Amino acid sequence: MTLDQFPWLTAIVLLPLIASLLIPILPDKEGKTVRWYALGVGIADFILMCYAFWKNYDPSSATFQLAEKYTWISQLGLSWAVSVDGISAPLVLLAGIVTTLSIFAAWQVNIKPRLFYFLMLVLYSAQIGVFVAQDLLMFFIMWEVELIPVYLLVSIWGGQKRQYAATKFLLYTAAASIFILVAGLAMALYGNNLTFDIAELALKEFPLFLELALYAGLLIAFGVKLAIFPLHTWLPDAHGEASSPVSMILAGVLLKMGGYGLIRLNMGLLEHAHVYFAPILAMLGVVNIVYGAVNSFAQTNMKRRLAFSSVSHMGFVLIGIASFTDLGISGAMLQMLSHGLIASVLFFLAGVTYDRTHTMLLNEMGYIGKVMPKVFALFTVGALASLALPGMSGFASEIAVFVGITSSDVYSSTFRTVTVFLAAVGVILTPIYLLSMLRQIFYACEGNPTCDINPSCDISDISLRTQGNQEVVCFGTSCALPSESDFSDARPREVFIAVCFLVPIIAIGAYPKMATGFYDATTVVINSQMRQAHSDVSSLKNSPILAHPSSFPTVSGAQAVTVVANK
């Protein structure tokens, strides 16, 4: 077997899963061997995917690449079919780097370490499986497999309300998954041939009413995962109770599975229904942006504030998907990649802060910038990236979405103006709640020189201020001299993890084509397909939103073949 014939994607999906099965038999009493083993597997899988894409992936091609297909259960038409294109390949890399660094971030897990790292590796495989699956039933199976490790990781290693948060997560996501199964069966059984192959499903001609029903069901399923209002309520609870390594995966990868599903299935298979639902997606995106930003102000829990920030940022993904422009869809993809990196580093640094303060409540923090300058600096850079500072990846993605929706000729000028204005309100609110969070964590409490948290801690006391020429600092609810404080600054491992996220954030911000070049060829083809569908849609109702409705002829099989071939 030559390297060209090697089943790269199958190896990438199965390596963490097979490696996880060896964890129970590893000779290890304190968990040190297991954590090094899990980290080594994560690094090996990430290197494997980087090598496979470097050697065999052509970003200038919009076709599916590295394709593999093996019959799995022939009676059900189920195959092990995997491949990548410009939509899935960058998300596979995102899942690889986020999950590997999450394993490294969980270095201090000492409660059931074997089970913890076993679940992390199973989750690793399931995430990659979702992004590379080209069989709809396989996609559903991988989607379901991912739920179990997350539920256990939250319910065992979470906070005080971990059982409630884990159960809520499972109920929401499992219930929503039913819509994927029902929609998949409906599409597979429709017509003369039973198939779950996504490429073959794209060749089927569905009646408009069926397309609309299928689109609505999948929108609910993926809307839960993407945290679309009002299906988002599981997210703040899960983030608030999950350990930071798990929160990194929740925000960095799992949310993106919802956006990926909307692009791959809703847009890829149900393009005519997308024309009808696109204005709704744009409006939901605006609601997400404003609602998430406003709710962040009300959160006194640091991780819940970051969770609502994620809800807000996912609104840009919806607007980009609904834009009918090359730049808008490209911006939606870039927003998923950018937010995956930014949210991961912020939740990681939230965990680093918690390890020192043992609290997530912002009103119990303060004054810690002096004793933790490295954490302060890293947290500040991450927050600036999240608020879309020019030169950071967040700015590149959000400006692409703004320009994309503004330049869209599909919507009326009134609709575009209102959408952009309301989304801009959310952008203005973002730096306010993020910088406010930094002030509450790292800066002095208002009312200096006495800390409001602990009135008995008077840092104006001369006897304290003059000891060893050091200035006393108020850390949380106690005061101490920096040299005598038990709260250490970021360790080399923690700095390394944060820098691994911040470097690509800054690099993509400085040169966005580093990321967009990976998928632009695919997003251009997808948008071309959407615009063709828009030109085919009947103007049975004179919509004031859609600017140029037209007739809705049935898409012929030849046209569908052309669309799939272009992919």
Query: In tens digits, what is the pLDDT along the chain, a chain of 567 residues?
Result: 566 678 999 999 999 999 999 998 888 777 788 999 999 999 999 999 999 999 999 998 888 999 998 887 777 777 889 999 999 999 999 999 999 999 999 988 888 889 999 999 999 999 999 999 999 999 999 999 999 999 999 999 888 888 999 999 999 999 999 999 999 999 998 888 888 889 889 888 888 899 999 999 999 999 999 999 898 899 999 988 888 999 999 999 999 999 999 999 999 899 999 999 999 999 999 999 999 999 998 888 899 999 999 999 999 999 999 999 999 999 999 999 999 999 999 999 999 988 888 888 888 887 788 888 899 999 999 999 999 899 999 999 999 999 999 998 888 899 999 999 999 998 899 999 999 999 888 886 554 433 443 433 444 443 444 444 444 444 444 444 444 445 677 889 999 999 999 999 999 999 999 999 999 999 999 999 998 888 887 555 444 444 444 333 333 333 333 333 344
Q: Which two tokens stand for residue 461?
A: 């006391």
Q: How far is CA 136 from CA 139, 142, 170, 219, 261, in A?
A: 5, 10, 21, 16, 11
Q: Which residue has tokens 């910088």?
A: 435
What pLDDT sits at residue 455? 39
119 close to 7: Cβ distance less than 8 angstroms: no
What pLDDT sits at residue 42? 95
What pLDDT sits at residue 454? 41
3-state secondary structure string, 124-162? Answer: HHHHHHHHHECEHHHHHHHHHHHHHHHHHHHHHHCCCCH
- Angle at CA 225, nearest 5°, toward 51 and 146? 55
What pLDDT sits at residue 71? 83
Nearest residue to 133 (alpha-carbon basis) of 189, 180, 170: 180
What pLDDT sits at residue 538? 54
Q: How far is CA 112 from CA 152, 165, 245, 322, in A?
A: 12, 20, 15, 45
Q: For 278, left (φ over 0), alpha (ψ -120 to 50), or beta?
A: alpha
User: Which helix (H) or strand (E) segment is 442 a member of?
Assistant: helix 413-442
- Angle at CA 424, nearest 5°, toward 293 and 320? 90
72 close to 138: Cβ distance less than 8 angstroms: yes
Round the CA-based radius of gyration of the chain to a whole number and report it.
24
Q: Which two tokens stand for residue 160?
A: 């005080």
169-179 as b/e, with b when 16 or more CB fall inside 10 Å? bbebbeebbeb
Nearest residue to 427 (alpha-carbon basis) of 389, 391, 393, 392: 389
| pTM of the predicted model as reported, rounded to 2 decimal places | 0.87
